[in-house]
């Protein structure tokens, strides 16, 4: 398959977790991630396209089959790690109060696993760039954003 089609399908597949993540109340399968929740408040149903659009906009060279890994992705990952820590510090009390301690702890652990896994992958492939690894790493980062990053903790509106 051509890189353009593979990249398009990978990006569009991010709508699946975004769709499930925007349904109902926070659960372990649908944690209502911040990117999707905020987009839903602003855009309504079209918010499920936001993770895909962010993926396409972040590294458009993937459509051309680029193996070059943008250094800004390391900055994005670092920023997301810091913001995740801040998110859980600020939201912890509300998560325990409204979703329960078990859910809040599990959500935190799941995010730690995502961060650790992404960190290992970014470290491992830092010098072994290929189109496949480039696409996979970026897809997993945006999968995290569209499914588990910044889960909704607190009272639902």
pLDDT, one tens digit for every residue, the chain (157 residues): 899 999 999 999 999 998 887 677 788 888 889 998 888 888 888 889 999 999 999 999 999 999 988 999 999 999 999 999 999 999 999 999 999 999 999 999 999 999 999 999 998 887 788 999 999 999 999 999 999 999 999 887 7
Task: Give the pLDDT score at 124.
Answer: 87
111, two tokens:
């995010």
Question: Residue-wise over 131-148: b if at least 16 C-beta within 10 A, else e?
Answer: beebbebbbebbbbbbbb
Please count the other Cβ atoms lying within 10 Å of the Cβ belonging to residue 47: 21
From CA 147, how far away is CA 139, in angstroms rounded?
12
Task: Give the pLDDT score at 9.
Answer: 98
Q: How far is CA 152 from the centre of its chain?
A: 13
Q: Which residues contact 71 (CB under 8 A, 6 or more apart)?
A: none
**Can you tell me which residue has the tokens 């499920």?**
48
- φ/ψ of 92, rounded to 5, equals -55, -50
Task: Give the pLDDT score at 157.
Answer: 72
- What does pTM read for this prediction? 0.92
- φ/ψ of 151, rounded to 5, equals -65, 150
Domain assignments of the chain as residue spans, ordered by start: 3-147
């Amino acid at each position: 398959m051509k890189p353009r089609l593979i990249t398009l399908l990978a990006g569009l597949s991010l709508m699946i977790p975004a769709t499930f993540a925007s349904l109902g109340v926070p659960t372990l399968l649908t944690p209502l991630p911040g990117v999707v929740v905020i987009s839903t408040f602003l855009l309504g149903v079209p918010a499920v396209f936001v993770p895909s659009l962010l993926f396409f906009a972040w590294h458009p060279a993937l459509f051309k089959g680029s193996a070059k890994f943008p250094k800004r992705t390391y900055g994005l990952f670092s920023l997301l790690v810091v913001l995740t820590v801040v998110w859980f510090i600020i939201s912890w009390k509300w998560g325990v109060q409204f979703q329960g301690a078990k859910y809040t702890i599990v959500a935190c652990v799941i995010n730690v696993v995502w961060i650790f896994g992404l960190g290992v992958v970014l470290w491992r492939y830092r010098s072994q760039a290929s189109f496949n690894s480039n696409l996979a790493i970026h897809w997993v980062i945006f999968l995290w954003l569209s499914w588990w990053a910044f889960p909704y903790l607190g009272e639902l509106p």
